Amino acid sequence: MRTSLILFAAIALFVAGCTTTGQIPPQDPLVSGYEPRNIMLSEMASELGWTYETGPGAYDYTLLSPQGDQLIFRIGTDYLNINGARWQQERDAVEKRGNDLMLPESTFNYVCKHFGRHDLVR
């Protein structure tokens, strides 16, 4: 009795281990949206009505609001400095075209919500 129970359990585990997992069908990017979504710093500045410039460091870009708020992005890192507070993005900022940064769109959405511009959230 005990042997047949152990044998039955062993066969069940063997069969369960040998089964293949189901395939995930391809997803249509027009329905689900392309991932990851990006936004350029220049586009972000124009949508918010802010300006951006290089500095204060050699690898930094600063986004400035008319009210004096500043956001500092560093090339090659996933950190964002908002008025002295350090926040982490989902991935690194990448320099494009020599004077622009490619950022995750989630950063733009977060900044819009942080500064009360909910109408711009995508």
Q: Going from the N-terminus, what domains does the chain have, and what CATH number goes with each?
A: 36-116 (3.30.457.10)
The phi, psi pair for 85, rounded to 5°, reads -95, 135
Q: What is the pLDDT of residue 9?
A: 78
- pTM, 2 dp: 0.68
Residue ranges for the chain with pLDDT beneath 70: 18-22, 24, 27-35
Query: Residue 77 in contact with residue 95, Cβ under 8 Å?
Result: no
* Torsion angle of the four alpha carbons 92, 72, 79, 101, in this order, in degrees rounded to the nearest 10: 0
**pLDDT tens digits, residue range 12-22?**
777 777 666 66
Q: What is the pLDDT of residue 55?
A: 85
